Chains A and B, each alone.
Chain A
Amino acid sequence: MKMTQQEALFQYCLRRGDDNLILSHRLSEWCGHGPQLEEDIALTNRALDLIGQARNYLQYAGEVEGKGRSEDDLAYMRKERDFVNVKLVELHNGDYAYTMARNFLYDAWHLPLQQALMKSADTQLAAIAGKAVKEVTYQLKTSADWMIRFGDGTEESHQRAQTALHALWTYTGELFTTDEVEAVLQKAGIVPDMAPIKAAFDAKVDAVLAEATLKRPADGFMMSGGRQGKHSEHMGFLLAEMQYLQRAYPGATW
Chain B
Amino acid sequence: MTEVKNSQELFQAKVDAEQKIEPKDWMPEKYRKTLIRQISQHAHSEVVGMLPEGNWITRAPNLRRKAILLAKVQDEAGHGLYLYSAAETLGVSREETIDALLSGKAKYSSIFNYPTLTWADIGAVGWLVDGAAIMNQVMLCRTSYGPYARAMVRICKEESFHQRQGYEIMNVLANGTPEQKEMAQDALNRWWWPSLMMFGPSDANSPHSAESMKWKIKRQSNDELRQIFIDRTVQQAEVIGLTIPDPKLKWNEETMHYEHGEIDWAEFNNVVAGNGPCNKERLAARNKAHDEGAWVREAAMAYAAKRARKKQAA
Which positions in A face B, CB cutoff 8 Å?
A: 21, 25, 28-29, 31-41, 44-45, 47-48, 51-52, 54-55, 58, 71-72, 75-76, 95-96, 148-150, 152-154, 156-157, 160, 241-242, 244-246, 249, 251-254
How far apart are the CA atoms of A5 and B70 in the complex, in Å?
36
**Binary contact track B279-299/A, C-beta < 8 Å → 1, others 0:** 000000100110011111111
Known contacts A32-B77, A36-B297, A254-B173; can you find 15 more A-B pairs with CB under 8 A? A31-B50, A31-B54, A33-B54, A35-B293, A44-B74, A48-B71, A51-B63, A51-B66, A71-B63, A149-B303, A153-B306, A156-B298, A242-B58, A242-B59, A249-B180
Q: At the interface, yes or no: B300 with Cβ under 8 Å from chain A?
A: yes
Which positions in B face A, CB cutoff 8 Å?
A: 47, 50-51, 54, 57-67, 70-71, 73-74, 77-78, 80-81, 84, 119, 169, 172-173, 176-177, 179-180, 285, 288-289, 292-300, 302-303, 306
How far apart are the CA atoms of A148 and B59 in the complex, in Å?
34
Among A29, A41, A58, A242, chain B packs the most CB atoms within 10 A around the CB of: A41
The 7 closest A-B pairs by CB, nearest first: A35-B293, A153-B299, A157-B299, A32-B54, A254-B61, A35-B296, A32-B50
Is A156 touching B70 in the complex (CB atoms < 8 A)?
A: no
Q: Could you say which of A34, A48, A242 contacts B70, with CB atoms under 8 Å apart? A: A48
Is B119 touching A254 in the complex (CB atoms < 8 A)?
A: yes
User: Nearest-CB distance from A244 to chain B (Å)?
Assistant: 5
How far apart are the CA atoms of A51 and B292 in the complex, in Å?
26
Is B176 touching A160 in the complex (CB atoms < 8 A)?
A: no
How far apart are the CA atoms of A157 and B119 in the complex, in Å?
38
Residues of A within 8 A of B176 (CB): 252-254
How far apart are the CA atoms of A54 and B62 in the complex, in Å?
12
How far apart are the CA atoms of A83 and B98 in the complex, in Å?
42
13 A-B pairs with C-beta separation under 8 A: A28-B57, A28-B70, A32-B51, A32-B73, A33-B285, A36-B293, A150-B299, A153-B300, A154-B302, A157-B295, A241-B58, A245-B60, A249-B179
Residues of B within 8 A of A29 (CB): 57-58
Is B289 touching A156 in the complex (CB atoms < 8 A)?
A: no
How far apart are the CA atoms of A245 and B84 in the complex, in Å?
36
Residues of A within 8 A of B299 (CB): 149-150, 153-154, 156-157
Is A38 touching B288 in the complex (CB atoms < 8 A)?
A: no
Number of A-B residue pairs having CB atoms within 8 Å of each other in the complex = 139
How far apart are the CA atoms of A150 and B297 in the complex, in Å?
10
Is A154 touching B295 in the complex (CB atoms < 8 A)?
A: yes
Is A45 touching B74 in the complex (CB atoms < 8 A)?
A: yes
Is B172 touching A153 in the complex (CB atoms < 8 A)?
A: no
Is B73 touching A152 in the complex (CB atoms < 8 A)?
A: no
Nearest B-chain residue to A157, judged by Cβ:
B299
Is B66 touching A28 in the complex (CB atoms < 8 A)?
A: yes
Residues of A within 8 A of B303 (CB): 148-149, 152-153
Nearest A-chain residue to B94, judged by Cβ:
A37
Is B62 touching A254 in the complex (CB atoms < 8 A)?
A: yes
Among A28, A31, A149, chain B packs the most CB atoms within 10 A around the CB of: A31
How far apart are the CA atoms of A252 and B183 in the complex, in Å?
13
Is B59 touching A241 in the complex (CB atoms < 8 A)?
A: yes
User: Nearest-CB distance from A127 to chain B (Å)?
Assistant: 19
How far apart are the CA atoms of A10 and B264 in the complex, in Å?
57
How far apart are the CA atoms of A135 and B279 in the complex, in Å?
38
With contacts A55-B63, A72-B63, A153-B300 known, is A31 near B80, CB below 8 A?
Answer: no
How far apart are the CA atoms of A218 and B124 in the complex, in Å?
52
How far apart are the CA atoms of A251 and B176 in the complex, in Å?
10
